[in-house]
Structure 1
Amino acid sequence: MSRQVSKDTGAELAVRRLLHAAGLRYRVEYPVPGMARRRIDVAFTRAKVAVLIDGCFWHGCPEHATHPKSNADWWRAKLERNMARDRETTEHLTTIGWTVLRFWEHEAPEDVTARVRAVVGGRLAERAGKQEAWGD
Protein backbone atom coordinates (compact mmCIF):
# COMPACT_ATOMS: atom_id res chain seq x y z
CA MET A 1 0.00 0.00 0.00
CA SER A 2 2.92 2.35 0.56
CA ARG A 3 3.47 2.43 -3.20
CA GLN A 4 -0.07 3.58 -3.93
CA VAL A 5 -0.31 7.12 -5.23
CA SER A 6 -2.49 9.18 -2.90
CA LYS A 7 -2.15 12.56 -4.56
CA ASP A 8 -1.44 13.88 -8.03
CA THR A 9 -3.12 10.87 -9.61
CA GLY A 10 -3.63 10.81 -13.36
CA ALA A 11 -7.31 11.70 -12.97
CA GLU A 12 -6.52 14.64 -10.67
CA LEU A 13 -3.80 15.98 -12.95
CA ALA A 14 -6.05 15.79 -16.02
CA VAL A 15 -8.83 17.72 -14.28
CA ARG A 16 -6.41 20.28 -12.84
CA ARG A 17 -4.86 20.92 -16.25
CA LEU A 18 -8.28 21.59 -17.78
CA LEU A 19 -9.36 23.83 -14.88
CA HIS A 20 -6.14 25.84 -15.13
CA ALA A 21 -6.48 26.15 -18.92
CA ALA A 22 -10.01 27.49 -18.35
CA GLY A 23 -8.55 30.27 -16.20
CA LEU A 24 -9.63 28.91 -12.81
CA ARG A 25 -7.17 29.11 -9.95
CA TYR A 26 -7.33 26.74 -7.03
CA ARG A 27 -5.39 25.18 -4.18
CA VAL A 28 -4.12 21.60 -4.27
CA GLU A 29 -4.18 19.24 -1.28
CA TYR A 30 -5.89 21.88 0.84
CA PRO A 31 -6.45 20.87 4.49
CA VAL A 32 -10.07 20.27 5.45
CA PRO A 33 -10.86 23.05 7.97
CA GLY A 34 -11.39 21.57 11.41
CA MET A 35 -10.40 18.00 10.50
CA ALA A 36 -6.88 16.75 11.03
CA ARG A 37 -5.21 14.60 8.37
CA ARG A 38 -7.87 15.21 5.74
CA ARG A 39 -7.25 17.02 2.47
CA ILE A 40 -9.28 18.41 -0.41
CA ASP A 41 -7.87 17.41 -3.81
CA VAL A 42 -8.79 20.71 -5.49
CA ALA A 43 -10.12 23.57 -3.37
CA PHE A 44 -11.65 26.86 -4.50
CA THR A 45 -11.37 28.69 -1.21
CA ARG A 46 -13.14 31.94 -2.19
CA ALA A 47 -16.10 30.04 -3.61
CA LYS A 48 -15.89 27.38 -0.86
CA VAL A 49 -16.03 24.52 -3.34
CA ALA A 50 -14.23 21.26 -2.59
CA VAL A 51 -13.48 18.89 -5.47
CA LEU A 52 -12.62 15.33 -4.49
CA ILE A 53 -11.64 12.75 -7.09
CA ASP A 54 -11.99 9.29 -5.62
CA GLY A 55 -10.24 6.14 -6.78
CA CYS A 56 -12.64 3.37 -7.70
CA PHE A 57 -10.94 0.69 -5.61
CA TRP A 58 -10.17 2.75 -2.51
CA HIS A 59 -13.52 4.50 -2.24
CA GLY A 60 -15.94 1.78 -3.32
CA CYS A 61 -17.10 2.78 -6.80
CA PRO A 62 -20.41 0.99 -7.50
CA GLU A 63 -19.27 0.23 -11.06
CA HIS A 64 -15.61 -0.71 -10.69
CA ALA A 65 -14.88 -1.62 -7.07
CA THR A 66 -13.23 -4.99 -6.56
CA HIS A 67 -12.89 -7.02 -3.40
CA PRO A 68 -9.60 -8.80 -2.75
CA LYS A 69 -9.95 -12.47 -1.90
CA SER A 70 -6.74 -12.59 0.09
CA ASN A 71 -7.21 -11.28 3.63
CA ALA A 72 -10.80 -10.42 2.65
CA ASP A 73 -12.05 -9.42 6.12
CA TRP A 74 -9.24 -6.92 6.64
CA TRP A 75 -9.76 -5.37 3.20
CA ARG A 76 -13.53 -5.15 3.64
CA ALA A 77 -13.09 -3.31 6.95
CA LYS A 78 -10.42 -1.03 5.43
CA LEU A 79 -12.56 -0.05 2.44
CA GLU A 80 -15.66 0.45 4.62
CA ARG A 81 -13.64 2.82 6.86
CA ASN A 82 -12.56 4.75 3.76
CA MET A 83 -16.17 5.17 2.64
CA ALA A 84 -17.28 6.18 6.15
CA ARG A 85 -14.47 8.76 6.29
CA ASP A 86 -15.59 10.11 2.90
CA ARG A 87 -19.16 10.56 4.17
CA GLU A 88 -17.93 12.20 7.39
CA THR A 89 -15.70 14.63 5.46
CA THR A 90 -18.50 15.55 3.06
CA GLU A 91 -20.93 16.16 5.93
CA HIS A 92 -18.38 18.29 7.80
CA LEU A 93 -17.57 20.45 4.78
CA THR A 94 -21.26 20.91 3.97
CA THR A 95 -21.98 21.90 7.57
CA ILE A 96 -19.36 24.67 7.47
CA GLY A 97 -20.70 26.09 4.21
CA TRP A 98 -18.70 24.35 1.50
CA THR A 99 -20.11 22.78 -1.65
CA VAL A 100 -18.61 19.32 -2.08
CA LEU A 101 -18.22 17.80 -5.54
CA ARG A 102 -17.14 14.15 -5.60
CA PHE A 103 -16.12 12.41 -8.78
CA TRP A 104 -14.86 8.93 -9.63
CA GLU A 105 -11.48 8.52 -11.27
CA HIS A 106 -13.11 6.94 -14.33
CA GLU A 107 -15.25 10.00 -15.12
CA ALA A 108 -14.16 11.99 -18.17
CA PRO A 109 -12.00 14.96 -17.14
CA GLU A 110 -13.93 17.21 -19.55
CA ASP A 111 -17.24 16.35 -17.84
CA VAL A 112 -15.75 16.88 -14.38
CA THR A 113 -14.28 20.22 -15.44
CA ALA A 114 -17.59 21.40 -16.90
CA ARG A 115 -19.46 20.63 -13.66
CA VAL A 116 -16.78 22.24 -11.51
CA ARG A 117 -16.72 25.39 -13.65
CA ALA A 118 -20.52 25.70 -13.43
CA VAL A 119 -20.61 25.29 -9.65
CA VAL A 120 -17.63 27.56 -8.94
CA GLY A 121 -19.03 30.24 -11.25
CA GLY A 122 -22.42 30.01 -9.57
CA ARG A 123 -20.95 30.21 -6.08
CA LEU A 124 -18.79 33.22 -6.96
CA ALA A 125 -21.75 34.99 -8.58
CA GLU A 126 -23.88 34.20 -5.53
CA ARG A 127 -21.23 35.63 -3.20
CA ALA A 128 -20.82 38.74 -5.37
CA GLY A 129 -24.59 39.30 -5.26
CA LYS A 130 -24.63 39.05 -1.47
CA GLN A 131 -21.74 41.49 -1.17
CA GLU A 132 -23.51 43.99 -3.42
CA ALA A 133 -26.67 43.67 -1.36
CA TRP A 134 -24.71 44.35 1.83
CA GLY A 135 -23.11 47.44 0.30
CA ASP A 136 -26.48 49.11 -0.48
Structure 2
Amino acid sequence: MRNLVIRYAVFVTGLYFLSLGVVCIVKSTLGTTPISSINYVLSLNTPLTLGTATFLLNMLLILGQFALIKGRSTRKDVVEILLQIPFSFAFGAFIDFNMWMCRGIEISNYWYALAMLCVGCMSQAIGVVLELKPNVAIMSAEGFVK
Protein backbone atom coordinates (compact mmCIF):
# COMPACT_ATOMS: atom_id res chain seq x y z
CA MET A 1 0.00 0.00 0.00
CA ARG A 2 2.83 2.39 0.91
CA ASN A 3 4.43 1.76 -2.49
CA LEU A 4 1.17 2.64 -4.26
CA VAL A 5 0.85 5.91 -2.31
CA ILE A 6 4.42 6.84 -3.25
CA ARG A 7 3.75 6.03 -6.91
CA TYR A 8 0.65 8.24 -6.95
CA ALA A 9 2.55 11.02 -5.17
CA VAL A 10 5.24 10.86 -7.85
CA PHE A 11 2.53 10.96 -10.53
CA VAL A 12 0.90 14.05 -9.00
CA THR A 13 4.32 15.70 -8.69
CA GLY A 14 4.77 15.01 -12.38
CA LEU A 15 1.45 16.72 -13.10
CA TYR A 16 2.66 19.74 -11.16
CA PHE A 17 5.87 19.96 -13.20
CA LEU A 18 3.87 19.53 -16.42
CA SER A 19 1.60 22.40 -15.40
CA LEU A 20 4.57 24.57 -14.49
CA GLY A 21 6.04 23.84 -17.92
CA VAL A 22 2.80 24.85 -19.65
CA VAL A 23 2.76 28.12 -17.74
CA CYS A 24 6.44 28.91 -18.39
CA ILE A 25 6.01 28.23 -22.10
CA VAL A 26 2.91 30.45 -22.25
CA LYS A 27 4.69 33.17 -20.27
CA SER A 28 7.65 33.02 -22.68
CA THR A 29 5.35 34.64 -25.28
CA LEU A 30 6.89 32.36 -27.93
CA GLY A 31 3.79 30.21 -28.38
CA THR A 32 2.52 27.17 -26.58
CA THR A 33 2.50 23.41 -26.84
CA PRO A 34 0.11 21.83 -29.37
CA ILE A 35 -1.97 20.13 -26.67
CA SER A 36 -2.40 23.46 -24.84
CA SER A 37 -3.09 25.63 -27.89
CA ILE A 38 -6.89 25.25 -27.88
CA ASN A 39 -6.99 25.82 -24.11
CA TYR A 40 -4.82 28.90 -24.41
CA VAL A 41 -6.94 30.43 -27.17
CA LEU A 42 -10.08 29.74 -25.12
CA SER A 43 -8.51 31.42 -22.09
CA LEU A 44 -7.66 34.49 -24.18
CA ASN A 45 -11.10 34.84 -25.77
CA THR A 46 -13.47 33.74 -22.99
CA PRO A 47 -13.72 34.36 -19.26
CA LEU A 48 -12.24 30.89 -18.68
CA THR A 49 -8.84 30.57 -17.05
CA LEU A 50 -6.18 28.45 -18.73
CA GLY A 51 -6.61 25.77 -16.07
CA THR A 52 -10.39 25.69 -16.45
CA ALA A 53 -10.14 25.52 -20.24
CA THR A 54 -7.62 22.67 -19.87
CA PHE A 55 -9.95 20.80 -17.54
CA LEU A 56 -12.90 21.22 -19.92
CA LEU A 57 -10.92 19.99 -22.90
CA ASN A 58 -9.75 17.02 -20.84
CA MET A 59 -13.39 16.23 -20.03
CA LEU A 60 -14.16 16.23 -23.77
CA LEU A 61 -11.28 13.82 -24.34
CA ILE A 62 -12.61 11.58 -21.57
CA LEU A 63 -16.07 11.57 -23.16
CA GLY A 64 -14.38 10.74 -26.46
CA GLN A 65 -12.70 7.76 -24.84
CA PHE A 66 -16.04 6.44 -23.63
CA ALA A 67 -17.45 6.86 -27.13
CA LEU A 68 -14.51 4.96 -28.60
CA ILE A 69 -14.77 1.97 -26.24
CA LYS A 70 -18.58 1.78 -26.36
CA GLY A 71 -19.74 -1.81 -26.51
CA ARG A 72 -16.33 -3.38 -25.94
CA SER A 73 -15.20 -1.93 -22.64
CA THR A 74 -13.99 -3.84 -19.64
CA ARG A 75 -14.28 -2.75 -16.03
CA LYS A 76 -10.55 -1.97 -16.10
CA ASP A 77 -11.02 0.36 -19.10
CA VAL A 78 -13.82 2.26 -17.38
CA VAL A 79 -11.85 2.62 -14.11
CA GLU A 80 -8.78 3.80 -16.04
CA ILE A 81 -10.84 6.47 -17.79
CA LEU A 82 -12.73 7.59 -14.66
CA LEU A 83 -9.43 7.92 -12.80
CA GLN A 84 -8.47 10.62 -15.30
CA ILE A 85 -11.18 12.98 -13.99
CA PRO A 86 -9.62 13.87 -10.60
CA PHE A 87 -6.16 14.08 -12.17
CA SER A 88 -7.48 16.38 -14.90
CA PHE A 89 -8.99 18.58 -12.21
CA ALA A 90 -5.69 18.65 -10.30
CA PHE A 91 -3.77 19.44 -13.48
CA GLY A 92 -6.10 22.36 -14.28
CA ALA A 93 -5.84 23.62 -10.70
CA PHE A 94 -2.03 23.39 -10.87
CA ILE A 95 -2.05 25.41 -14.09
CA ASP A 96 -4.20 28.14 -12.55
CA PHE A 97 -2.05 28.16 -9.41
CA ASN A 98 1.14 28.52 -11.44
CA MET A 99 -0.43 31.23 -13.62
CA TRP A 100 -1.26 33.09 -10.41
CA MET A 101 2.26 32.56 -9.02
CA CYS A 102 3.80 33.83 -12.28
CA ARG A 103 1.37 36.72 -12.78
CA GLY A 104 4.09 39.34 -12.33
CA ILE A 105 6.45 37.87 -14.89
CA GLU A 106 6.77 40.07 -17.95
CA ILE A 107 9.23 39.13 -20.66
CA SER A 108 11.21 42.17 -21.74
CA ASN A 109 13.44 40.75 -24.48
CA TYR A 110 13.99 37.79 -26.72
CA TRP A 111 16.75 36.25 -24.56
CA TYR A 112 14.49 36.23 -21.51
CA ALA A 113 11.77 34.68 -23.64
CA LEU A 114 14.15 31.93 -24.78
CA ALA A 115 15.26 31.32 -21.21
CA MET A 116 11.63 31.04 -20.04
CA LEU A 117 10.89 28.68 -22.93
CA CYS A 118 13.85 26.48 -21.95
CA VAL A 119 12.71 26.42 -18.31
CA GLY A 120 9.23 25.40 -19.50
CA CYS A 121 10.56 22.64 -21.73
CA MET A 122 12.79 21.32 -18.94
CA SER A 123 9.89 21.40 -16.48
CA GLN A 124 7.68 19.51 -18.91
CA ALA A 125 10.39 16.92 -19.51
CA ILE A 126 10.70 16.33 -15.77
CA GLY A 127 6.91 16.18 -15.51
CA VAL A 128 6.60 13.59 -18.27
CA VAL A 129 9.21 11.34 -16.64
CA LEU A 130 7.51 11.65 -13.24
CA GLU A 131 4.09 11.02 -14.79
CA LEU A 132 5.10 7.92 -16.74
CA LYS A 133 7.61 6.29 -14.36
CA PRO A 134 5.14 5.24 -11.61
CA ASN A 135 2.80 3.61 -14.18
CA VAL A 136 -0.38 4.31 -12.18
CA ALA A 137 -2.57 6.39 -14.47
CA ILE A 138 -2.59 8.27 -17.74
CA MET A 139 -3.91 11.68 -18.64
CA SER A 140 -6.85 12.16 -20.97
CA ALA A 141 -4.85 13.13 -24.07
CA GLU A 142 -2.74 9.99 -23.83
CA GLY A 143 -5.82 7.94 -22.96
CA PHE A 144 -7.67 9.25 -25.99
CA VAL A 145 -4.79 8.26 -28.27
CA LYS A 146 -4.51 4.87 -26.56
Normalised TM-score (structure 2): 0.35
Name the structure with the higher strand share.
1
Q: Which one has more relative contact order, counting CA pairs under 8 Å at least 6 apart?
A: 2
- Structure 1 length as normaliser, TM-score? 0.37
- Flag the structure with higher helix content: 2
